[in-house]
């Protein structure tokens, strides 16, 4: 394993993040504050509790998941697309670096950025509501797996995209709606029975449910099923990336 190459890619990607650290820090703080003003104050004043948890605290896991998923996907997709767009990716292919080391560098940096955003949102949310984490180890596991899996998804999108518009297509039109419809700001038990069954086809439900369980000990679906879903999704993305490098699909042409 060429750890020097991995570190070089990782540092290069993180340097771009630290150059805009102020914007990277302020954006989640402001957006989290706005969510609490709109959802916590306006809607929370009409909903006292959800599954025994105050509504303001109940939306925190979903809010973190929303930002982490979109940030991990966007950062990873742009990270690999930009060198492909300007042609510097061929210099990377000519270096003694294999596909696993390339993925570790780019995906590791994107996951780190998303993790940073998640921590910032959690700290901001703690200013507005009292947050108790029932299972801190499980919370970290779910957060890390989500960061890594959606960074892998973003890497795939970056390879697939032919222009900058396509980079935003999946995060904006697929990931974000799935998060909103996946119980991020409500419990699916509040839905009519037919919609509860339909919602279970949304894979994001299992991620948000497991992450919320780590906070409050309550979940819409079994925790084991949530871990199986996020683990399976991670392995699926790794398999797709392995196939991309094996065939050279859209990355060597």
- pLDDT (tens, 9 = 90+) of the chain, 253 residues, equals 889 989 999 999 999 888 877 777 777 778 877 877 777 666 666 777 888 888 888 999 999 998 899 889 999 999 999 998 888 888 888 888 888 999 999 999 999 999 999 998 898 888 888 888 999 999 999 999 999 999 999 999 999 998 888 888 888 888 889 988 998 888 998 889 999 999 999 999 999 999 999 999 989 999 999 999 999 999 999 999 999 988 988 887 6
Q: Where are the domains of the chain?
A: 3-247
Question: CB count, 10 Å around CB of 197?
Answer: 11
pLDDT of residue 213: 96
Token readout for 54 is 């105050």
pTM of the model: 0.92
The whole-angstrom separation of Cα 230 and Cα 167 is 23
Residue 124's SS3 state is: helix
Cβ-Cβ contacts under 8 Å for 170 (sequence gap 6 or more)? 73, 77, 153, 157
pLDDT of residue 17: 83
What is the greatest pairwise CA distance in the chain? 60
The whole-angstrom separation of Cα 35 and Cα 251 is 39
pLDDT of residue 224: 94
Token readout for 50 is 């959800």
pLDDT of residue 171: 84
Please give the DSSP secondary-structure letter assigned to residue 98.
-
């Amino acid at each position: 394993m060429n750890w020097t190459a991995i570190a070089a890619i990782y540092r290069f990607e993180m340097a771009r993040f630290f150059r805009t650290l102020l914007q990277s820090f302020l954006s989640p703080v402001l957006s989290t504050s706005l969510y609490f003003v709109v959802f916590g104050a306006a809607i929370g004043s009409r909903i006292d509790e959800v599954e025994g948890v105050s509504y303001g605290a109940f939306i925190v896991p979903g809010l973190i998941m929303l930002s982490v998923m979109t940030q991990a996907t966007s950062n990873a997709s742009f990270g690999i697309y930009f060198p492909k767009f300007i042609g510097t990716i061929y210099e990377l292919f000519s270096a003694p670096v294999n596909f696993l080391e390339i993925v570790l560098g780019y995906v590791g940096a994107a996951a780190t950025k998303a993790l940073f955003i998640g921590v910032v949102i959690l700290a901001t949310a703690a200013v507005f509501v009292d947050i108790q984490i029932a299972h801190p180890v499980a919370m970290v596991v779910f957060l890390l797996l989500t960061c890594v899996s959606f960074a892998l998804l973003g890497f795939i999108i970056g390879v697939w995209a032919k222009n900058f518009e396509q980079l935003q297509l999946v995060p904006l039109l697929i990931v974000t709606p799935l998060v909103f419809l996946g119980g991020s700001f409500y419990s699916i038990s509040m839905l009519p029975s037919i919609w509860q069954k339909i919602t279970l086809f949304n894979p994001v439900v299992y991620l948000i449910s497991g992450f919320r369980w780590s906070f409050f000990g309550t979940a819409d679906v079994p925790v084991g099923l949530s871990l199986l879903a996020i683990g399976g999704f991670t392995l699926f993305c790794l398999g797709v990336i392995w196939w991309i490098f094996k065939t050279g699909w859209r990355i060597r042409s």
